[in-house]
Structure 1
């Protein structure tokens, strides 16, 4: 196994753990069996730092682990899929949208596009899941909570990403993910 692949696996495991921790630390229950947390910021960061595929694995697994450890076992399978899609969308948009700058530097417009894409995946994914499991009023009632959660997560990711991209290993990993 080459050195870069080992680093990517290690950082993916670290991001999964940070995603689970960020999801569990600030934990505000919402209307229907869900909760507001900052873990989506880590999901978005996972996609942007690690690339769409490794980021999807880290974000999905970390979020699912938080559900399992917090007693939201029913949501865990949906969370794995939804958060993996959110990290994939965010990572893909951030790394592939053309904008001034180069891989390894903070790029504001691709960041906002990534945040919006990730938010659409989370809000839409949970809406569809809750629509299938509960009913229309229950699914609609959680949309505002998901939007608030996405806003705070976008702010957290926006504060952390420029700082994290100053770390040489993460900057190089980000550059390699873009290619």
Structure 2
């Protein structure tokens, strides 16, 4: 297989991930929780996957675009916070190495949980007040991040078995 134009390849894969993140956030497994417009979804698992395959700026763009579009479609009040938070979720992950799952990427979803939880807590505090944010964000954030972590680990393990990362060639 010939080496593809790296920049064009990265842009194309970023677009594919942004679309998948949108679909898995807004529609597939989308479960509304609480009264604040929040919901549980599997889109973060795909943001984690993008972060293990794409260089960081591209993964950040995929997360921000995919999550932002999903919120525009389902919970528009959260769009700005989501764009910032989803871009930051990729920071603990690495795309270095031949596999999706490695020591760092096994631990990264835990750090991503704290980034997500803190970001949405701050956004919710600004929108609804500290007391409301404190009461409503605890359970939803843990369930959301836990589900995304399990989805990412299962998907990463499956894709590593077929040597997916080498086939994508970023």
| TM-score category of the 2 structures, normalised to the smaller one | 0.7 to 0.9
TM-score (norm 2): 0.87
Equivalent in the alignment of 2:132? 138
1:82 matches 2:85: yes
Partners of 1:27 and 1:134 in 2: CA distance: 22
1:12 matches 2:22: no
Instruction: Using the TM superposition, give the Cα deviation of residue 51 of structure 1 relative to its aligned residue in structure 2, in angstroms.
Output: 2.5
Q: Which protein is richer in helix relative to its size?
A: 1
Give the count of matched residue pairs.
Answer: 161
Give RMSD over aligned pairs.
1.6
TM-score (norm 1): 0.83
Which segments of 5 or more consecutive residues in structure 2 lack a partner in the other structure? none
Instruction: Using the TM superposition, give the Cα deviation of residue 111 of structure 1 relative to its aligned residue in structure 2, in angstroms.
Output: 1.5
Relative to structure 2, which stretch is displaced further, 53-62 or 158-167?
A: 158-167
Give matches, 1:83-162, under 5 Å: 83-87=86-90, 89-91=91-93, 94-95=94-95, 103-140=97-134, 141-162=136-157
Superposed CA deviations along residues 63-105 of structure 1, whole A, max 9, x for unmatched, are: 11011112x1111111000101112x133xx347xxxxxx122
Which segments of 5 or more consecutive residues in structure 1 lack a partner in the other structure? 97-102, 174-179
Runs of 4+ in 1 over 4 A off after TM superposition: none
